[in-house]
Amino acid sequence: MLHKHVFRFAARHRQRAALFLSCLCVLAFSLSMPLKTGAESSGQASGTAGQDDAGTALTGLTAVEAPAAFDCKSAVLMEASTGKLLYEQNPTEAMPPASVTKIMTLLLVMEAIDAGVLHWDDMVTTSAHAASMGGSQIYLKEGEQMSVRDMVKSVVIASANDAALALAEAVAGSEETFVNRMNQRASELDMENTHFENTNGLDDTATNHVTSARDIAIMSRTLIAHKEILEYSSTWMDTVRDGAFGLTNTNRLVRFYRGCNGLKTGSTAKAGFCISVTAEREGMTLICVIMGAENRDIRNQAAAALLDWGFANYGLYTCPEGEPDPLRVTGGVVPQVRVSYPSFSCVLPRADLSAVEMNLTLPESVPAPVRVGETVGSLSFTCRGEPLGEVCVTASEASDKISFGGILLRLLARFLLV
């Protein structure tokens, strides 16, 4: 009798175990299938600001009245971090830039330093050709050696033509090769109205050494990404040759305009008086280009007035990078992943800075596998109904797709713990 009861008890538990395993297999199979989701993904981050590239105010945003035309041949105002053009007066006409040319010379030197072709403490030997340069100079003699650092300082602060050419020869071997690289770099930056013939802007014998105000703003923006340049261009006075030779900044706005930290002046009989000036206030950096003014005072007054107009009427809206709540992953080895979005900036009329709205678009879950950097959503920005741009929300960590055996083991572990 006892034997029969034991047999019936074992039979009942075998049936229950078989039923449980059958249910377990069905559940594991269903969990291993990908889940369709309505997740929306966005493209790359795009930034539109208060005006389009032609200077037309976007519908819905506060209109900004443009200033009267300035007493110069051309003028441009650009916000540095976004490249947004805020004001243009004859922006694309090609004309001689004088020593503002050296912005491109300095850019190639800085890129050579970044690439390890030059080093700040390298000693550069002055050639006879470099020593023969006239105009603004530090009176380098043939065979004289000076560090890259002091030569860069001399070009930035005192607009030294001889140091500019010596650096160019150190980078490329000859002025001709360096000038070819200048034009190549201009093409890469989409400087459509630019052609260089020398490294320093001397134009007595030049026939087609020209650029435009817009192109100068473009190369200025690229140059000031090298923060060492701003250290020198914001310096009013310094020295080289162990203090024996003084340098005074050719850009008087560095001393007299609040927030000015650069960048380059120039003047010749052909070019008139030109400047690319940078200034920073309240986290926004503006680049102002003036070309073809009659004299230095008119040039500086125009630059200061255009900068004043820009700072008074525009501001930089910035949303810092962030992390929304973790996103659930279905069918993944990791049940949820961290997600993040990059910072976003755009230029807006000051009256609209407080009216920006953000819209985060994320699905409730995403199916495995999820890879690091994979787009899972978007964060869009609007102001008074006008789209400003959006950034992608991406996965900060991965979650592989769980296998059938993995799900089975996970469910079995839960069952045994109950």
- Which positions of the chain have pLDDT values less than 50? 1-13, 16-20, 23-24, 26-58
Bridge partners of 272, per DSSP, are 268
Q: Which is nearest to 396 in space by CA: 418, 412, 374, 415?
A: 374
Given this model, what pLDDT does residue 56 score? 40
Distance CA 39, CA 330 (A): 13
Tell how strand 284-293 and strand 314-319 pair up: unpaired
pTM, to two decimals: 0.83
Q: What angle do CA 150, 152, 154 make, to 5 degrees?
A: 70
Reported as a single tens digit per residue, the pLDDT across 302-354 is 999 999 999 999 999 999 999 999 999 998 889 999 999 999 999 999 999 99
Please state the separation of Cα 344 from the chain's center in Å: 11
CATH of domain 31-48+320-417: 2.60.410.10
State the catalytic residues.
99, 102, 159
Given this model, what pLDDT does residue 403 score? 75
Q: Which is nearest to 130 in space by CA: 165, 175, 159?
A: 165
Residue 78: CB atoms within 10 A of its CB come to 28
Given this model, what pLDDT does residue 30 score? 47
Given this model, what pLDDT does residue 104 score? 98
Given this model, what pLDDT does residue 404 score? 63
Given this model, what pLDDT does residue 190 score? 97
Domain map (residue ranges) of the chain: 31-48+320-417, 74-293
Q: Is the CA virtual torsion 279, 285, 286, 289 positive or negative?
A: positive
CATH of domain 74-293: 3.40.710.10
Helices (H), 279-323: 296-313
Residue 305: CB atoms within 10 A of its CB come to 17
Burial 371-401 (b: 16+ CB within 10 A, else e): eeeebbbbbbbbbeebebbbbbbbbeebbeb
Given this model, what pLDDT does residue 409 score? 67
Helices (H), 132-264: 148-158, 161-172, 175-188, 213-223, 227-233, 253-256
